Amino acid sequence: MTMKIRGIEKADYDYIVSVLDRWWGGPAGQRAHPYFFYELGDFALVAEDEGKVVGFLLGFITPDKATGYVHLVGIDPDHRRRRVGHRLYERFEARCRDEGVSRLKAIAAVGNDASAHFHQAIGFSVEEVAHYAGPRRDRLVFTKSLG
Ligand SMILES: CC(C)(COP(=O)(O)OP(=O)(O)OC[C@H]1O[C@@H](n2cnc3c(N)ncnc32)[C@H](O)[C@@H]1OP(=O)(O)O)[C@@H](O)C(=O)NCCC(=O)NCCS
């Protein structure tokens, strides 16, 4: 396989913001705050296949180094079900283990079945948490122990 996982660069950011709504299947620009591209160091990753960015993962570790949090992951619809997402998570997890992180966490909207299936397939537990993001804003919360 020619795909490689590497750190994000400015040109990747420019590309991702131009395709994000399409990859996401709806408006997603607000999730792509520049902070997530500029300030996360090597916890912001892209997957590149034959010179083309086909996926990204934007994560960070919490200040107490307990949790590796994945803010946003997106895969080009033409490259889904080819383990691109899985490989991005593998790299993120390895980086988190280097820092002594004990669990990974991500969230998704209730009803995002693809995300729920994906996270479960790569070892996460899923729980629907009422009011997680404020009143009546329930969320799926995914966690994986690195113990
Ligand atoms: C969810 C998403 C990141 C998955 O990425 P992906 O690269 O296609 O996933 P992978 O190929 O690594 O899948 C690994 C396993 O997860 C499961 N899986 C992935 N997508 C799935 C889907 N749509 N339905 C059911 N199971 C799925 C499968 O078990 C899969 O293994 P298999 O293909 O051998 O059966 C991708 O569909 C996406 O970008 N969706 C839109 C954005 C989004 O919802 N992001 C998550 C919220 S933060």
Is ligand 1 within 6 A of the CB of residue 108?
Answer: yes
Per-residue model confidence (pLDDT) at position 36: 79
Determine the length of the chain.
147
Is ligand 1 within 6 A of the CB of residue 86?
Answer: yes
How do strand 67-75 and strand 103-109 relate by DSSP bridges?
Answer: parallel
Task: Give pLDDT tens digits for 101-128.
Answer: 999 999 999 999 999 999 999 999 999 9
Atom of ligand 1 nearest to the CA of 85: 7
Which residue puts its alpha carbon closest to atom 27 of ligand 1? 118
User: Other CB atoms closer than 10 Å to residue 3's CB: what's the count?
Assistant: 16
Is ligand 1 within 6 A of the CB of residue 126?
Answer: no
Write the DSSP assignment of 67-135 as a string of letters: EEEEEEEEE-GGGTTSSHHHHHHHHHHHHHHHTT--EEEEEEETT-HHHHHHHHHTT-EEEEETTTTST
Task: Give pLDDT tens digits for 29-84.
Answer: 888 888 877 899 999 999 999 999 999 999 999 999 999 999 999 999 999 999 99
Is ligand 1 within 6 A of the CB of residue 22?
Answer: no
